Structure 1
Amino acid sequence: MSDVSRAFKRLLVGRAIRSDRLGETLLPKRIALPVFASDALSSVAYAPDEIFLTLAIAGGSMVAFHSWEIGLAVVLVMVVVVMSYRQNVHAYPSGGGDYEVATVNIGPKAGVTVASALLVDYVLTVAVSVSSGVQNAAAAFPFVRGHEVWVALALVVLLTAMNLRGVRESGTAFAIPTYAFMIGIIGMAVWGNVRAAMGTLPPAPSAGFELRPEPGYEALTGVAFAFLLLRAFSSGCAALTGVEAISNGVPAFRKPKSKNASTTLVMMGSISVIMLLSIIGLARRTGVQFAEDPATQLYQDGVPVGAGYVQETIIGQLATTVFDGFPVGVLFIAIVTGIILILAANTAFNGFPVLASVLAKDGFLPRQLSQRGDRLAYSNGILILASAAMLLIFVYDAEVTKLIQLYIVGVFVSFTVSQIGMVRHWNRHLADTNEPKERARMMRSRAINAVGATMSGTVLLVVLATKFMRGAGFAILAMVFLFFLMLAIDKHYRRVSEELELSADGRAERALPSHVHAVVLVSKLHKPTMRALAYARACRPSVLEAVTVAVEPEKSDELLAEWDRLQVPVPLKMLDSPYREITRPIIDYVRSIRSSNPRDVVTVYVPEYVVGHWWEHVLHNQSALRLKAALLFTPGVMVVSVPWQLRSSEGAEEWVIGGQAAPSSVRGPGRGRA
């Protein structure tokens, strides 16, 4: 890594942190709340909109009479889920969350099912949150309009850089806007209700409109009526996304980890419930009219408002109403709402890498995902999450209406399976416990988890029934793909482990070869070749010979003459190559040695020289690279690279391994091929 790139990396992510300072990166509750709860808290910015939009299909009366019922149903589910996850946090504080609960209590495949659902949901959280934030910003900043995709991609890059600096630093940076959003929404609700009690709260800007049902939805009854309510309920359940992040992020909390995580979970649930009910209540009190197609559904004096009408979000309409005559308040709400929608992605940036690291340690994902980066963050997981989210944003043009249909399926899959796992967890422990008080506590916990499993399972069925044909099917396909991919990775690691396992006594692995047959590859007689010959002789093999390929007769004759003139004390063997190949004759020759002496080891010495610039590689023959690649697949063959440093490599950049300079024995910016 060059000095310039190293300096840029340090500017981007900060100075490397020693492993023994991991404890300094752990989060207190005041920082953990905005880090892990920004997704769940931000959902109140769009969950009410989704409820109102769905109910508005059947007209304003449906919204007026049933929005509060849907809101209360969502709150009930949220309370049960939060109470259930408190049991998870205390029982499984290692950070595996739903994955660990399902794996331990149901089985590895159940754990992989939960993990695949959560990984997909984390990616969607980033894509939906950032796209929603950009669309809100476009209303306030016209220059964003038409460039939403690129702005969204740039914001994901910014979030990635912040998280690469470490959980604590990103949490500190995001704490202020998250708390500002909470204060803004709760403050708006309090002031709105105070004004309502005083009789000074005006109607919303859209209160004077008539909201008419879409064609075919004028008089819903029976199954159609129930299905519409279920659709509104499933859309409102977006408010529950992010609840599971705390159970996956317990290791990031300060000690006592479980207690602090549990407290943070309750705080998050309480604040979310207050804000969600406050927004729905104020919207009904001020007469907010909110339609999916306002141009055709909203009427004023019996005439459609038309395409010229710009419909603000519910929070935007409430801010205009509550803070009429106080534009600073309206602007404050607009800014913090836009920011929190973008920062909601930060929850996924903390949950995805931790879960991926646990899966990697268990062998279901590549091992590299379990390693921490310079700043003690799981850098590889962060980069994979960002790449996948950016791909979704690009493919779906950063349109929330398209992305939202893929959303929340994964989180309810994990809710349901993990709560079933917790019921089995308590059943197992109850069978081993005779102490009355402890049994009573466990039975209460089991009842909570049983209710949570039933309720989240019901919601999952509702979500699948109402959203499958509207896009949720693609999310399920992604989960299925990840499920089988992780099983395949696990199978690969198990197979490799079995192949590398020592025999019972280890005698077969300790056995020495009968002879070592050394072969030095020669293209011409120069300094790299002489060093390779000297090194091979110093290793004292049983047999030592130099091998060259006769591609051009004139050059081969010159090499033989020079070899004899210098009296090189190693026999030179020339391989014939009528078709001017280099790799094939050498591979065939090495294999012939092995076939005639199967208990021998063949060591092939490859002279190479080190160059100092990347562009110099283009100017040099790559035959040695092809040879080494082919020899690595030949059983019983050892390949030894013998480097010769050219002057251009002097003072060149060092290789950096894990942020530290490599030892001199492995330094070198790159190798040209002799």
Structure 2
Amino acid sequence: MGVSGTVKRTLVGRKLRSSQLGETLLPKRLALPIFASDALSSVAYAPDEIFLTLSMAGLSAYAFSWPIGVAVAVVMLTVVASYRQNVHAYPSGGGDYEVATVNLGPTAGLSVGSALLVDYVLTVAVSISSGVQNATAAIPFLEGHEALAASALVLVLMAINLRGTKESGRAFAVPTYLFMVAIIGMGLVGYFRYLTGTLPEVESAKFEMVPEAPYEGAVTTLAMVFLLARAFSSGCAALTGVEAISNGVPAFREPKSRNAATTLLMLGTIAITMLLSVIVLAQLMGLRYVEDPAHQLLLNGEPVGDGYVQDTVLGQLAGALYADLPPLFYFTIACTGLILVLAANTAFNGFPVLGSILARDGFLPRQLDTRGDRLAFSNGIVLLAVAAIVLILAFDAEVTRLIQLYIVGVFVSFTVSQLGMIRHWTRLLSTETDPAERRRMMRSRLVNGFGLAMTGVVLVIVLITKFLAGAWIAIAAMVAIFAVMRGIRRHYDLVNEELAIGDEDVSLPSRVHGIVLVSRLHKPTMRALAYAKVSRPSTLEAVTVQMDPERTRELLAEWDARDIKVPLTVLDSPYRELVRPVVRYVKERRKASPRDVITVYIPEYVVGRWWEQLLHNQTALRLKGRLLFMPGVMVTSVAYQLRSAKDRRPPTAGSAPGDVRRGYVGE
């Protein structure tokens, strides 16, 4: 095994056989942290976005924070109930894409697929960026280097997920459960101190808050409604990740659908409890959280200035509650930072599976449907990591800018999926005769109908309030991915149509004419000649290009001296070109006998070191590149292993990837 193979085994682990796929299935205790970490982590930034938006209208608007939280909770309960229907009806792992494709057609399915792909990339970018920003509260030297730190964390997550789903679940289970303990524990401490009259105020409670310019003075009803709608749409970021379980049903242990539905219920219950506890506690502790703290926060009537650093909502709550217990403060901040980083793991499980299904259907490159050494969809994992890093660097890891692109895709998929499930139940009801089963189906259709109404309203609100703020970028990306996937499918369809066997494909060519390319007479040339003879073409000739008349005369003399029974044709090259004369000659032979097949045998060295490849085979590569595009021409490389290739041969039968290409032949 080479150096690259050793490094790969160290990072990824030993290969798993395809028959070991069952060993990677997840129990509920591991599935919850893997698939629910995204939705749970929203507790760390969804309250921030609600308070940030409401702060535009001043402190009085904070009174709407808990009603907005309740509205978000109602939407989440509705979506969870709807997806519990999905995982039972479509347990194959296609999720919203499969529901839309089966019930609404390929165009709707592809729209959902493109929306989910964009949302998964944004999930990684937002979660990692938010985690780094939260960590900055406890690790000040990260300030100014957030994008670099976030990119490094994406690469770490990618490496962990390449080791397999179960391994990543074990790595992430403890931090996810610790985050639940930290946030629920903080809520219990806060409410206990509130009941006992000892609840402290957060540091920012001492500041006055100035509304932003459009909301100074009297605020019209229409402006306030728009502001509340925008705050609600930002809070709905808490729903991202709920759909991941429907895409990950195949990863659950049996009974898959029941375990997935149970995990969905646990996810909804825990996420809603944590979200509402943080929002209400922040209101009770006098939180002030604004977009421009240097100018919007006043102390004794004066702006606090650029020197003031505004911590996140959780950072301020934990700092006030645990002022006398620094270890608990750092524990809460550390758990928050970890869960935000690990929340991206939900996307690392959802994106590759969805990508593999789309690839299987011909909408994405087929390499995305290939499992890696650890039975994970490695190509999809790498693609997701690269896309997320590009996004993080482009937006400098700023959550406020990234979150404007967020949740559009997921609510597109929510809405279309609910419509698809309504069609699903309607179709089944048309043939079902059992009264009890019909009542169950009608209840399920009612749940999905209510879900369609709720998610549709949220989607409209999100589009109205966030379109100009940046959501148009996400929509443009969805449209672009949709067009690309349609183009890929069109290409695959054309190729399949072109490759379909017809009557003319079973007939044999009239003759096969063999051409052996000769540069000089040596062992590789003799091997190519011998192989060509054994292949028994109808006719056989050798061809050389004359660059130097003296060397050509020497070659002809040696050819005759060795009594080689293959005619040698010399092609003149007045401009000292090698490739063009050969290509022209082959074209002429094809034109003279269009029904014949021409096989060109090219002697080629096999070397053992990468830099040796730069010194050999360059002309052969250029020739193959030209000849492969000519119809009726077959190109055969006749390999000759140089000593460097033989010296690198392993002592036992080679089993590492690429051994055959490098010339390792097991003995």
Q: TM-score, normalised by structure 1?
A: 0.96
Distance 2:521 2:301 in 1: 96
**Does residue 646 of the first structure (1) align with residue 642 of the second (2)?**
yes
Distance 2:563 2:271 in 1: 85
Q: Give the structure 1 partner of residue 592 of structure 2.
A: 596
**In the TM superposition, what is the alpha-carbon distance from 1:331 to its structure 2 partner?**
1.3
User: Residue 207 of structure 1: SS of its match in structure 2?
Assistant: helix
User: Residue 541 of structure 2: SS of its match in structure 1?
Assistant: strand
Report the residue type matching 1:285 in the other structure. L
Distance 2:304 2:605 in 1: 76
**Does residue 668 of the first structure (1) align with residue 663 of the second (2)?**
yes
Task: Label 1:142 to 1:662 Cα distance change in 2 as closer, same or farther (>3 A).
Answer: closer
Task: Label 1:390 to 1:452 Cα distance change in 2 as closer, same or farther (>3 A).
Answer: same
User: Residue 543 of structure 2: SS of its match in structure 1?
Assistant: strand
Contact (CA 8 Å) 2:233, 2:461: kept in 1 or not?
Answer: yes
Q: Give the structure 2 partner of residue 215 of structure 1.
A: 213
Report the residue type matching 1:628 in the other structure. K
**In the TM superposition, what is the alpha-carbon distance from 1:201 to its structure 2 partner?**
1.6
**In the TM superposition, what is the alpha-carbon distance from 1:199 to its structure 2 partner?**
1.7
User: Residue 205 of structure 2: SS of its match in structure 1?
Assistant: coil
Q: Give the structure 1 partner of residue 155 of structure 2.
A: 157
Q: Give the structure 2 partner of residue 206 of structure 1.
A: 204
Distance 1:339 1:539 in 2: 63
User: Residue 372 of structure 2: SS of its match in structure 1?
Assistant: coil
**In the TM superposition, what is the alpha-carbon distance from 1:300 to its structure 2 partner?**
3.0
Q: Give the structure 2 partner of residue 525 of structure 1.
A: 521
Report the residue type matching 1:279 in the other structure. V
Task: Label 1:653 to 1:445 Cα distance change in 2 as closer, same or farther (>3 A).
Answer: farther
**Does residue 128 of the first structure (1) align with residue 123 of the second (2)?**
no
Note the 1:408-487 alignment, pairs <5 A: 408-487=407-486
Distance 1:276 1:371 in 2: 38
Note the 1:173-572 alignment, pairs <5 A: 173-218=171-216, 219-503=218-502, 507-572=503-568
Report the residue type matching 1:538 in the other structure. V
**In the TM superposition, what is the alpha-carbon distance from 1:658 to its structure 2 partner?**
12
Contact (CA 8 Å) 1:373, 1:658: kept in 2 or not?
Answer: no
Aligned pair count?
663
Contact (CA 8 Å) 1:101, 1:421: kept in 2 or not?
Answer: yes
Task: Label 1:456 to 1:659 Cα distance change in 2 as closer, same or farther (>3 A).
Answer: farther
2:611 to 615, 620, 624: 615
**In the TM superposition, what is the alpha-carbon distance from 1:311 to its structure 2 partner?**
1.9
Distance 2:279 2:625 in 1: 65
User: Residue 147 of structure 2: SS of its match in structure 1?
Assistant: helix
Cα distance per residue 1:381-425 (max 9 Å; x no partner)? 000000011111111111212211111111111111111111111
**In the TM superposition, what is the alpha-carbon distance from 1:209 to its structure 2 partner?**
2.4
Distance 2:528 2:64 in 1: 83
Distance 1:208 1:532 in 2: 87
Distance 1:403 1:555 in 2: 67
Distance 1:462 1:126 in 2: 24
Contact (CA 8 Å) 1:374, 1:658: kept in 2 or not?
Answer: no
Report the residue type matching 1:537 in the other structure. K
User: Residue 354 of structure 2: SS of its match in structure 1?
Assistant: helix
Contact (CA 8 Å) 2:419, 2:448: kept in 1 or not?
Answer: yes
Cα distance per residue 1:432-459 (max 9 Å; x no partner)? 1111111111111111111111111111
Contact (CA 8 Å) 1:47, 1:235: kept in 2 or not?
Answer: yes
**In the TM superposition, what is the alpha-carbon distance from 1:620 to its structure 2 partner?**
2.6
User: Residue 545 of structure 1: SS of its match in structure 2?
Assistant: strand
Contact (CA 8 Å) 2:607, 2:662: kept in 1 or not?
Answer: no
Distance 1:110 1:290 in 2: 40
Q: Give the structure 1 partner of residue 92 of structure 2.
A: 94
Report the residue type matching 2:180 in the other structure. M
Contact (CA 8 Å) 1:16, 1:659: kept in 2 or not?
Answer: no
User: Residue 533 of structure 1: SS of its match in structure 2?
Assistant: helix
Task: Label 1:287 to 1:180 Cα distance change in 2 as closer, same or farther (>3 A).
Answer: same
**In the TM superposition, what is the alpha-carbon distance from 1:205 to its structure 2 partner?**
2.3
**Does residue 27 of the first structure (1) align with residue 26 of the second (2)?**
yes
Distance 1:272 1:50 in 2: 16
Distance 1:533 1:554 in 2: 23
Contact (CA 8 Å) 2:87, 2:260: kept in 1 or not?
Answer: yes
**In the TM superposition, what is the alpha-carbon distance from 1:662 to its structure 2 partner?**
6.1
In structure 1, stretches of 5+ residues that fail to align are none
**In the TM superposition, what is the alpha-carbon distance from 1:316 to its structure 2 partner?**
1.4
Task: Label 1:661 to 1:313 Cα distance change in 2 as closer, same or farther (>3 A).
Answer: closer
Distance 1:237 1:267 in 2: 19
Cα distance per residue 1:511-569 (max 9 Å; x no partner)? 12221111111111111111111111112221111111112211111111111111111
In structure 2, stretches of 5+ residues that fail to align are none
User: Residue 516 of structure 2: SS of its match in structure 1?
Assistant: strand
**In the TM superposition, what is the alpha-carbon distance from 1:469 to its structure 2 partner?**
0.8
Distance 2:213 2:484 in 1: 45
Contact (CA 8 Å) 2:85, 2:444: kept in 1 or not?
Answer: yes
- Which stretch shows the higher mean deviation, 627-636 or 589-598? 589-598
Contact (CA 8 Å) 1:576, 1:585: kept in 2 or not?
Answer: yes
Report the residue type matching 1:623 in the other structure. T
**Does residue 74 of the first structure (1) align with residue 72 of the second (2)?**
yes
Cα distance per residue 1:245-284 (max 9 Å; x no partner)? 1111111111111111110011001100000110111111
User: Residue 638 of structure 2: SS of its match in structure 1?
Assistant: strand
Q: Give the structure 1 partner of residue 110 of structure 2.
A: 112
Report the residue type matching 1:615 in the other structure. W
**Does residue 578 of the first structure (1) align with residue 574 of the second (2)?**
yes
Contact (CA 8 Å) 2:646, 2:663: kept in 1 or not?
Answer: no
Report the residue type matching 2:360 in the other structure. K
Task: Label 1:561 to 1:106 Cα distance change in 2 as closer, same or farther (>3 A).
Answer: same
Contact (CA 8 Å) 2:598, 2:632: kept in 1 or not?
Answer: yes
- Which stretch shows the higher mean deviation, 272-281 or 292-301? 292-301
Cα distance per residue 1:304-363 (max 9 Å; x no partner)? 333332222111121123233222211111110111111111111011000000000000
- Which stretch shows the higher mean deviation, 300-309 or 548-557? 300-309
Report the residue type matching 1:259 in the other structure. R
**Does residue 628 of the first structure (1) align with residue 653 of the second (2)?**
no
- Which stretch shows the higher mean deviation, 377-386 or 445-454? 445-454
Contact (CA 8 Å) 1:3, 1:653: kept in 2 or not?
Answer: no
Distance 1:346 1:401 in 2: 21
Cα distance per residue 1:350-379 (max 9 Å; x no partner)? 110000000000000000000100000000
Distance 1:402 1:658 in 2: 51
Q: TM-score, normalised by structure 2?
A: 0.97
Contact (CA 8 Å) 2:432, 2:438: kept in 1 or not?
Answer: yes
Cα distance per residue 1:38-90 (max 9 Å; x no partner)? 11000011101110111111111110x21111111111111111111111111
Task: Label 1:320 to 1:142 Cα distance change in 2 as closer, same or farther (>3 A).
Answer: closer
Distance 2:452 2:547 in 1: 73
CA RMSD in angstroms, aligned pairs only: 1.8
Contact (CA 8 Å) 2:606, 2:662: kept in 1 or not?
Answer: no
Report the residue type matching 1:566 in the other structure. R
User: Residue 580 of structure 1: SS of its match in structure 2?
Assistant: coil
Distance 2:203 2:604 in 1: 76
Contact (CA 8 Å) 1:610, 1:645: kept in 2 or not?
Answer: yes
Contact (CA 8 Å) 1:611, 1:669: kept in 2 or not?
Answer: no
